[in-house]
Chains A and B, each alone.
Chain A
Amino acid sequence: AQTVTQSQPEMSVQEAETVTLSCTYDTSESDYYLFWYKQPPSRQMILVIRQEAYKQQNATENRFSVNFQKAAKSFSLKISDSQLGDAAMYFCAYRSARAVQGSYNTDKLIFGTGTRLQVFP
């Protein structure tokens, strides 16, 4: 079964600085998707960035970028020029690309336990 591990329960960063959140995963599949979700105090889960495993190029969305190391099964999130509004819980998630109806093992998003990011002025 696939697992997702976030080993940093909490991180902090100064405003305008850069911070990297770690995520590792375990899978025997070769084709899958990886996601970073942000959960602010409002509780709303918001997709930050998504990476397809078959793409070698690291995904980037404005100040957010990932370092995807497929062989090492590592998927870290880098936040540049941190802002106060970036303070939130961040969850790494995995999903198989092989979606088979009736098999939740392939249909579900598998989440890590989250990293709480604090941003200081």
Chain B
Amino acid sequence: NAGVTQTPKFQVLKTGQSMTLQCAQDMNHNSMYWYRQDPGMGLRLIYYSASEGTTDKGEVPNGYNVSRLNKREFSLRLESAAPSQTSVYFCASSEGLGGYEQYFGPGTRLTVT
């Protein structure tokens, strides 16, 4: 039982390049989330998927797109990376919305030069 997995763990991009961060969970959870963590700030929600087939914007969605490929997988895409997107990205999942515990992946450290 791996929980929430993310790939890659580290990535360096040049400004304007694109990439997709992958996330998968094996807990049969309905809801999945993408957060970013910047120094001196807590985690901020980028996008989330309440259930398979739905996605919604979070607090900081600009510059990102997401795909809920199936119940297990939720990917985050940067179409044209910018230095402001240098951050640590976390994927999380939970049984559903509300007070259910969110389980986090190990994070992806992304640097955009």
Contact = CB atoms under 8 A, between A and B. Distances in A.
B58 A97 contact: no
A29 to B, nearest CB: 12
Contact of B101 (A43, A47, A98, A102): A47
Q: Give the interface SS of chain B, mostly helix, strand, loop or mixed.
A: loop
Which bucket holds chain B's interface residue count? 20 to 34
B45 A108 contact: yes
B43 A91 contact: yes
Nearest to B40: A113
Contact of A108 (B48, B106, B107): B48
B85 interface: no
A66 to B, nearest CB: 15
Interface string A42-80: 111111001010000000000000000000000000000
A45 B105 CA distance: 8
Contact of B56 (A35, A42, A104): A104
Given A43-B107, A104-B48, A111-B43, A33 B99 contact: yes
Interface residues of A, number: 32
Contact of A107 (B56, B88, B105): B56
A44 B101 CA distance: 15
16 contacts: A33-B99, A42-B106, A43-B107, A44-B104, A45-B104, A47-B102, A50-B101, A91-B43, A97-B98, A97-B99, A99-B98, A104-B48, A104-B58, A108-B33, A108-B48, A108-B59
Interface of B: 33, 40-45, 48, 50-51, 54, 56-59, 88, 90, 92, 96-99, 101-107, 109
